[in-house]
Each structure stands twice: as C-alpha cells, then as structure tokens.
A and B are shown apart, each in its own frame.
Chain A
Amino acid sequence: MQNIKLNADIAAGILFILFGGWFCASSLLSLSFGSAFRMGPGFFPTVVGGLLLVFGVVIAINGWIAKNGTVDLAAVPWRAVVLFPVGLILFGLAMRPLGMGIALLVLCFCSSMAVKGLKPGYAVLLSLAVTAVCVAVFSFALGLNLPLIGDWLR
C-alpha cells in the first residue's frame, strides 16, 4: 500500500463537526427546545452539539494552519479493523441459535486471524483453548445463564 498521510487535526475536526452537527440538527428537528425556564428535551443536546461543532471547526482550521501531526494510514492494522467487528457481530448472531460454544469459537478464530503471521493451525488450537477457558469461567465458575448449546442444535 502507498503511504497516504493524513492531517490528524483536520480529520479530528471534521469528525467533531459531523458528530456535533448530527446531535445539533437532529435535536432541533425532532425535539422540543423549550425555553431557558422550562427546558425541553432538545435544549441541552442542541447547545452542546452546537458547541462541539464550533470546536470542530476551530480544531480543523488550526490543523490547516499548523500542519503538525500526521497519521500514516499504512500503519493501520487493517485486518484487525475488519475482523474484530466481523467476529463480534457473528458472535452476537450465533449466540441464540448455535450457543456460546460455537459463537466463541468463531469470535476467537476471527480475532486470532487478525494477528499478522499467525498460522491457521495455531489459531484453531488457540481458539479451542480460549473457548474452553471462557466456558469454564463464565458457565461453571460464575454460573452465568448463557446457553452453551443453541436453540437450533437442541
């Protein structure tokens, strides 16, 4: 991958503008603002969202002028960035129909594949071991009421 460099301050500023703008706009549009005496549910989020938007603009302008602090996108661990959420969501999906054992195996395998240079065989062994420990700790030691085997397999 090419070395793409990003100005950290501008990126952070834009992120804050988006968040602030969303909170501000959606509370203005759908929530009653009220008055200073009797504040409605929209008062606080509108004001704080507006403030965040202003800070975002200032941070972005600062970054444009100062140009310090760049982010190297090549350093981002892309495999983990994709595989961690995928593993977590598969875990959530598998929990009810397939049960905790299989859900954990899937999650563990996804997260071990996120580490660069790990052999698949080792990843499988590691997943089995961590799953066993988790089941032992959560189901037996702590006695949490999570289904070990899911609805579809019963």
Chain B
Amino acid sequence: MDIISNLALGFSVALAWHNIFFCFVGVLAGTLVGVLPGVGPLATIAILLPITFSMQPDSALIMLAGIYYGAQYGGSTTAILLNLPGEASSAITTLDGYQMARKGRAGPALATAALSSFFAGTVATVIIALFAAPLTQVAMAFRPPSYFSMMVLGLIASVVLAQGSILKAIAMVLLGLLLGIIGTDIYTGTARLNLGTLELADGVDFVALAIGLFGIAEILRNLESSQTREVLTNKVKGLWLSLTDFKRIIMPSIRGTAIGSALGILPGGGAMLASFAAYIIEKRVSVNRAEMGEGAIEGVAAPESANNAGSQTAFIPMLTLGLPSNAVMALMIGAMIIQGIQPGPDIILKQPGMFWGLIVSMWIGNLMLVLLNLPLIGLWVRFLTVPYPILVVSVMAFSAVGIYSASGTLFSMYELSFFALLGYVFMRLGCEPAPLTLGFILGPMMEEQLRRSMLMSRGDPTVFFTEPISLGFLIVAAAALVLISAPAIARKREEAFSEE
C-alpha cells in the first residue's frame, strides 16, 4: 500500500530526535500563547519565523505547525476554567465549558476537550494522508489559466468566509497583491515600486510585514484599555470521565470532527468557523440539546473536536496546491519560501520527507498535547497572572532581534514600524489584516500565472473561460460573490458572526 509506505516515511522523519524536540517546543509554545489572551498563534508564529531560518525546513514547519494546533488546546483550558477564551476558536466552548466548571465538573470538561481534540486530530491526520496525494495529482494537471483562476477562487472564498465587510476585505486583498509585487520584476529584471531604495529590491520583508500586522498591531489594540485580569484558582480534581460521560461525547466528537474537517479545507474556514458551526448543529441534533448552554458535556466535545479538526485540515490546500486558506497558512508558506521551497503541488514529490513528516508530526504533537495538558493545567492557568507589561516588552524585544538577525539592516526596522502602525490603523477602521497577508503571498504567483496564460493564448483573455477547469473555478467564485451579496444571505452572515 502506498499510504503505508508514505506514513512510514513520515514516522521516520517525525520521530527523529530533533524533530520530536521541535514538535515539543512548538506545542509547548502554542499551549502557552493559547492560554494567554492578547497573544495569539499568528503573532507567535510571526515572531518565531526568523528563528526558523537556521533550522532544517522539516523541523521549522513541524515547530510552526505545533504552535498552531497547540494554541487550540491552550485556548480551551482558559475557556473552561475562567470563561475567557484564549483563542477566538474556543470562544464557543465557554458556553458549556465554564458552566461545567461552575458545577464542579471542571475536570471532566478539560478531559473532554483534550480527548475529543485528540480524536479529531487523529482523524484529521488520516484525512490529510488520504486526500493529499490524489489532490496533488489533480493539481499537477493544471495549466497556467487554471492556476490563476484557482487563486482567484481561493482569495474570493477567503473573503466571503471572513468576518466584516466584504468590500473592505477585497480591498485588503488587492493591497496585499500590490505589496507582494514590490521589488524586481522577474521577467525583465526591472526594479519597480521600490521608492528608490536598494533595500526594497528583493521586495517587502515578509517577516517584518507579518510581525508588524499581527504581533505589534495587536499589542497596540490591547493597550487601548488597561486590562485587569482576575484569576480564579479553582482546584481541578477528578479528570476522569464516567462511562456515561464517555458515551455522551462519542457522537458529538464524531459530528464535530466531520464538520471541522470539511470547513477546515475551505479557504477562509479553519478553526473558528468550524467550532461555531459544530456547536450550532449540535444544538439542533443532540439528544441532550435541552441542557446545552447549562453545562452539557456535548457542548464542549463538539466545538473542541471541530476546531482541532479544522485547524489541521486547513493544511490540505496549503500543502497540495500552495494555496493558503488563512493567515496562519500564509505564514507557513512564507516560512517555506524563506527556506527556498517553492510551494505548490510538486512539494510532495520534491520534499516527500518534509511533507509526510509534517503530517505525522501533527498526530505525535496531538498525543503530546494530551499528555502535556491534563497534568499541567494548574501550571498553565498560573501563566495568566503574568503582568501585561512584561508581555509587551518581551514581544517588542523578540520581534526586533528576530528581524534584525535575519536582515541585518536598519531599513527592516522602518518596515516593521510602518506595518505595525498600518496594521493598527486598519484594525481600528474595521479592515481585517488576514486577507492582506493572503494577497501578499499570492501576488507574485498570480502575476506570473497571468503572464504565462497570456503568453500561451497570445494575449487573448478569453482563455480563462475556454479552459474547462479554469471556467469551473471562476463560476464557483462568481457564484460565491453573488450569493453573499444577496440581501437575505448577507443578513444571515452578519448574524452568524455577531454571535461571537
């Protein structure tokens, strides 16, 4: 069997001692930032990007991925114990999780979150392993016009499924595309749009952009209100689930995993949307739906399995098509490019060790998280008492040294300051920075595919409609835009996002 030998290769990579170590560092850092509100996985991955330059590509991606799914675990811990979602994706867990904790059932709630997440992580790993290779085969047959249209669809879909105004999100994508092509034109070697500086000849520094937009801008927003965090030190006892509890979480976990896996693959989907959808559906179909909202164990199992499944299947389009479905995936692609790996369908052939190693490491990381989280919950909660100024100063120092070590120029500090302020301004004006990052990553690729398509067709733009695959992508993209602009659906969408 192909898949067995592939997974065996994955295990051989993921179980190398240095990769186990980096996987552990990743999930540990992820859990920590998941617990801390105000510092998310995006900011952490951005800040740690420069450190990964000196690492092997497989270790770098394994660690960064660990931060991402580790944060889902950490976020649920604070959601249950303190009614405080560490991450947006565990916001919905507070509804039933915190109620369970108030009734003295914090232990079972935490165990449910961990076990259903582990179940979802295992299933999602298998799904990635099953679907990645066939999807790659399909993508290999794409010609430039299809590639271009696929990227258009990816960007449109991420806009439609994102929060906030669609117009603003599209504008952010366009701005990202433009920022992405600053530098040197690859066809003619002409310097362009570089403000006459030499430093911009290689383009805008992706690390500075990511840290500015997600790390420092986020801190500026948090500094708007002086937060005082009260920490309740509940004693957590009795982590074990009774047999009844166990039976009650099986079906919700399976449903949550299914919903999460499906939504994770969609561009713009990912963990947050998955957890909300799973909770809403569970509220409709569960036998114990009357208890939902008052401490039902199903209300923890469903969203927790969904957010973990979603955060993992989001890797599928990134690994097989080179298409980032959310900002974290855009950062992962950025990390690959910096390592000299061109994302796209041939990764699986050129870097099979990295590809399968990353997939298997996710399962190992999930196992670590279960073993790590349950006994150490008391320790994690104590991290909430870290005063915010310490966090602010540490993030600033780490970001600056990280970027400087990679670029070695004063100019990168200008870039970092510019994107930090720009990111803050955009956040205040209700423009999400995530679509900009997707555009930034896809900008050079889109321009290249557009130019290739036009050379192929001798300047005839109808090629995008005569290529069947390309036409299909464009029809779906147009349909998504039309649907979301329809007044009835636009209202529903607003309701769905305002439930947060």
**Chain A: residues with CB nearer than 8 A to chain B?**
8-9, 11-12, 15-16, 19-20, 23, 26-27, 30-32, 35-45, 48-49, 51-52, 55-56, 58-59, 62, 69, 71, 75-77, 80-81, 84-85, 87-89, 91-93, 95, 100, 104, 107-108, 111-112, 114-118, 122-123, 126-127, 130-131, 133-134, 138, 142, 144-146
Contact = CB atoms under 8 A, between A and B. Distances in A.
B175 A11 contact: no
Interface in B447-467: 447, 450-451, 454-455, 458-461
* Chain B residues touching A, majority SS: helix
- Chain B interface size band reads 35 or more
A124 to B, nearest CB: 11
B197 to A, nearest CB: 14
Interface of B: 51, 54, 165, 167-168, 170-171, 174-175, 177-178, 181, 185, 187-188, 190, 192-193, 216, 219-220, 223-226, 388-390, 392-394, 396-398, 400-401, 404-405, 409-414, 416-417, 420-421, 424-426, 428-431, 446-447, 450-451, 454-455, 458-461
Contacts, number: 188
Contact of A80 (B220, B225, B397, B401): B220
A75 B410 contact: no
B443 to A, nearest CB: 8
Given A12-B430, A112-B389, A58 B410 contact: no
A-B CB proximity, top 9 nearest? A37-B459, A92-B413, A41-B185, A85-B417, A92-B410, A36-B459, A77-B223, A111-B396, A12-B429
Given A41-B190, A81-B421, A81-B424, A55 B170 contact: yes
B416 A100 contact: no
Nearest to A23: B178
8 contacts: A27-B192, A31-B190, A35-B459, A38-B459, A41-B185, A115-B388, A116-B226, A142-B51
A60 to B, nearest CB: 10
A13 to B, nearest CB: 8
Contacts of A93: 410
Contacts of B461: 36
B428 A71 contact: yes
Given A12-B168, A95-B404, A49 B178 contact: yes
B375 to A, nearest CB: 26
Nearest to A87: B396
B187 A41 contact: yes
